[in-house]
Amino acid sequence: MSQNQSIFRTPGEVHFGAGAVASVGRIAKTWGERALIITGARSAKTTGALDAVCQSLKAAGVSVVIYDKVGHEPTIRLVEEARALARSEQCDLMIGLGGGSPIDTAKCAAGLFYSPEPVASHFRDGLEPPDRALPWIAVPTTAGAGAEATPNSVLIDEETKIKQSLRSWRWLAKAAIVDPQLTVSCPPTVTAYSGMDAFTQAVESYVSRHATPLTEAISFEAALQVAKALPRAYENGADLEARTAVAWGATMAGIALANARLGAVHGFAHPVGAFYSLPHGMVCAILLPWVIEYNLDVAAPKYARLARALDVTAPASSDECAARDFLAYVRELNARLGIPAKLGEVGLERDRIDEIVKHTLPSGSLAANPKDVPEEDLKAMLAAQL
């Protein structure tokens, strides 16, 4: 394909709306008879989401096996265990239920189901995924990562602490079932971090080198949906209208980033998150204003367009002024959500900067940033946050 051509891909179906989770059984039945549900140890149980999914599956005649050991980060070991369970239980379908972690675990376990090789070989040696994947369905219970809409699975290698993506277009979900009602019980910090992950993904995909008019339209609206509603969802978790807007924004940002990629925030976010065990969304939120400021001279017209749509700049202001107003707005949004202004406040140390930058440099997200970021600038951007 030549450089001026693009392809746009999405999950097979997106079922959206309060109560949509009740349709998981009917949708699953079109893809399989025996489903492995991959979920976390606690929240999907205490909120009733797991029960709702199981009931719907059983009512549709789909039998259920549960793998519930996923923690706050997906790892090679978790994918290996889930894949082994699906094989031994002869499952023909997987369902990822929860935040980005269980969804990415399900995506990778389904994507490598037919591979005879260990998951670690795909991760460490770059072995290509097989030509076919087990069908899988995403049921997110947080609004943020957009993992229900992407073809990549972000995993951590527990031995090396390296965090990176495995991806294949064959790994897109057969269906994403996005039920904002499932996000109502998210505590405020999870709401803030995951919501700012979605906002960062919307902004980074909007200004990405790989953005197209199609992805820009989706990124732009995703950023507005999240920005306007996230403070309300943070302050009053029961506000279903706000939860619905943030859920739209998260899924739309996922669709946009799957096709347009991201930027320097996500280049940094993987090594920083892995080295310091920090929530991904919090790391993204802290880094976003720093990267916007760095990109101002190349991306001002797009940041300005966001500022005008959010009504945070004077109507007659220049692109340069409006872009600076957008930067100030993002800093204020973070402060309103209780998010620190610098990585130094959450543990960043001077003597780890070189190592973080070494792991940032090969990132595909960094390559999509609208402005080249040389090694010395990456180091300076982190050093400024000590």
Query: Which positions touch Fe ion (CB under 5 A)?
Result: 197
Closest CB to Fe ion among residues 104, 216 = 104
Least distance in angstroms from the C-beta of 201 to Fe ion: 5
Least distance in angstroms from the C-beta of 284 to Fe ion: 5
Least distance in angstroms from the C-beta of 266 to Fe ion: 6
Closest CB to Fe ion among residues 197, 221 = 197
Task: Look at residues 218, 271, 295, 256 and name the one whose alpha carbon lies nearest to residue 303.
Answer: 295
Closest CB to Fe ion among residues 154, 327 = 154
Tell me the residue nearest to Fe ion as measured from the CB.
197
Neighbours of 189 (CB within 10 A): 15
Closest CB to Fe ion among residues 148, 197 = 197
Closest CB to Fe ion among residues 50, 196 = 196
Least distance in angstroms from the C-beta of 368 to Fe ion: 13
Closest CB to Fe ion among residues 142, 181 = 142
Least distance in angstroms from the C-beta of 283 to Fe ion: 9
Least distance in angstroms from the C-beta of 222 to Fe ion: 13
Least distance in angstroms from the C-beta of 302 to Fe ion: 19
Closest CB to Fe ion among residues 197, 325 = 197
